[in-house]
Amino acid sequence: MAAVLSHAPLAQTCAAASGILRVQEEFKRGRSRRDRAAPALKCPMETHRVPQEQRERGRGEDADADAGMKKRRAAGGVQPGTEAQGSGRSGRSGAEETLMLELRRLVQEQVKGSSWWELRGKDCTILGLAFVALVPGFLLLRSSSLLVFAPALLVLGVCHAVITVKGAHLSSHSSLSRSPLLNRIWAVFFIEVRSVRCGAFSADAGVQAHVKLHHAHTNVLGLGDSSTWKVPSLSRGLYLFIAPLAVPVITPLVALAQLKHQSVLSSLRTLLMVSLGLWSHFWILVRVCGFCSVPSALGCMFFTRNLFSLPYIHVNIFQHIGLSMFSPDQRPKRIFQMSHGVLNLPRNLLLDWTFGHSLISCHVEHHLFPTLSDNMCLKVKPVVSQFLKSKSLPYQQDSYLSRLRLFFHQYHELMVLAPPITELVGIQ
């Protein structure tokens, strides 16, 4: 230590000061007291030793730190120079923000300035109207006139789609209430009971498959790549136009098969709720609507639950399959992953009301901010689209018919063969 301090002016000053202090201690307190005070006199010299050594090797450590930071940014999916562009960083002051953090800040400003009606009110009202419309729909089924009976079937079909698709989707993302308990109740109600309609997957399985797998690993091969929608053994005509009609029959069977992965209590609850949904719907058709035979009641259930089966399957494959797919080992950052792997369909009055904006015209916004309600996704849509375009990121949109033609003509490449892996050069 003496060799190091002999070359440091600051250390020499500290040594001189310590000598003066030692003389004073000897004079006032004697030699015995000086021995106990000597260790404390070393503190000024020891505190200056570490900064001195750091200054001698500082450049090397700073260079290593910079190199490590660059490696971590590259591993995290930030392109060199992109973080400065996306964060709005001014010079060396202020904390660095990623593109996603900046976009989240802009969206959060929209959320904070929104009323309850905008946050949840509109979507809750649409769901409420769907329940209210069930009453005249069931009552009109009692008519023997085809002009009355047919519109009643259509009304019940629309109500079924609103409740089972829009309601189940929003409840799975906890978008209907601020209360975790209420969100849990809504999830069980919409996903399992589905009002007077047919129940399906358990709430736990639905949230696990959709929120924790599909949303967390969007377009990542083997995780959230939408491969569960693929049936390579079916021809394109059968898959696109016939097979979706079997969804109301297949869904409860698949749900029962999934029960083996659930706890005993969860399985019992799901069986009870699914049975309640089936029985209540059948009971209303027989007792209230006046269906005299079991086949006619089952036929009505099948028709109303199948009215939107075709667009339901189409929407689920159109907005992800055929876009960029990523390797689990080299996935990009979230904002790059969603902007390259998600597509919006144009606004459609019927589908927007039945499925919700987040599944149709605001699917990109929904994947970036999955807890927002349908109405809020529509409200932040201009902010998100403008931001992505200003950062030279894709904001993908295509029409329903265009996607249908693509899947019809390239069905083998899209729905049979394994998708190619996309590597975003300079981002991953």
* 165-178 pLDDT, tens digit each: 999 999 999 999 99
Sign for the CA dihedral angle at 79, 80, 85, 86 comes to: positive
| pLDDT, averaged across the chain | 79
Say which range, 102-111, 214-223, 247-256, 335-344, has the weakest mean pLDDT. Answer: 247-256
String of DSSP letters for 184-235: HHHHHIIIII-TTS---S-HHHHHHHIIIIIITTBTBTTTBSSGGG--TTS-
Backbone torsions φ then ψ of 419, nearest 5 degrees: -70, 150
Q: Which long-range contacts (CB under 8 A, 24 or more apart) does 79-85 make?
A: 79/426, 79/427, 80/426, 82/427, 85/391
DSSP-derived 3-state class of residue 227 = helix
* Residue 191's pLDDT band (cuts 50, 70, 90): confident
Q: What's the whole-number mean pLDDT along residues 194-211?
A: 67
Rounded average pLDDT over 269-281: 83
DSSP string, 277-316: HHHHHHHHHHHTS---SHHHHHHHHHHHHHTTHHHHHHHH
pLDDT band at 426 (very low <50, low <70, confident <90, very high): low
- CA neighbor of 231 nearest in space, from 415, 41, 32, 9: 415
What's the pLDDT score for residue 428?
46
Distances (CA, A) of 214 to 227, 240, 316, 370: 10, 22, 11, 11
- Using the predicted structure, report yes or no on whether residue 65 has a pLDDT greater than 70: no
State yes or no: pLDDT of 135 exceeds 60.
yes
- The DSSP 8-state label assigned to residue 229 in this structure reads G
Residue 412 is predicted with a pLDDT of: 94
Q: How confident is the model at residue 194 (pLDDT cuts 50, 70, 90)?
A: low
The answer to whether 364 touches 339, Cβ cutoff 8 Å, is: yes
Q: What would the mean pLDDT of 316-325 be, rounded to a whole number?
A: 94
Q: Is the per-residue pLDDT at 23 higher than 70?
A: no
- The number of beta carbons lying within 10 Å of the beta carbon of residue 153 is 16
- Percent above pLDDT 90 for the chain: 54
pLDDT at 81: 42
- Give dist(CA 361, CA 190) in Å, integer: 23
Q: Is the pLDDT of residue 71 over 50?
A: no
Q: Which amino acid is at 177?
A: S
Three-state DSSP state, 397? strand
pLDDT above 60 for 222: yes
The residue ranking higher by pLDDT, 362 or 427, is 362
Judge whether 215 and 359 are in contact, CB under 8 Å. Answer: no
What is d(CA 109, CA 380) in angstroms, rounded to the nearest whole number? Answer: 10
By C-alpha distance, which of 114, 262, 134 is closest to 192?
262
Tokens of 197: 């309609």
Phi and psi at residue 237, to the nearest 5°? -65, -40
Predicted confidence (pLDDT) at residue 395 exceeds the cutoff of 90 = yes
Rounded-to-integer distance, Cα 365 and Cα 375, Å: 11
Average pLDDT score over residue span 103-113:
96
Cα–Cα distance for residue pair 323/221, rounded to 1 Å: 12
Q: Which of 132, 221, 123 is nearest to 173 (CA)?
A: 123
Question: What is the pLDDT, as a whole number, of residue 319?
Answer: 95
Radius of gyration of the chain (CA): 32
The Cα 18–Cα 153 span in angstroms is 97
pLDDT tens by residue, 360-392: 999 999 999 999 999 999 999 999 999 999 999
pLDDT value of position 50: 36
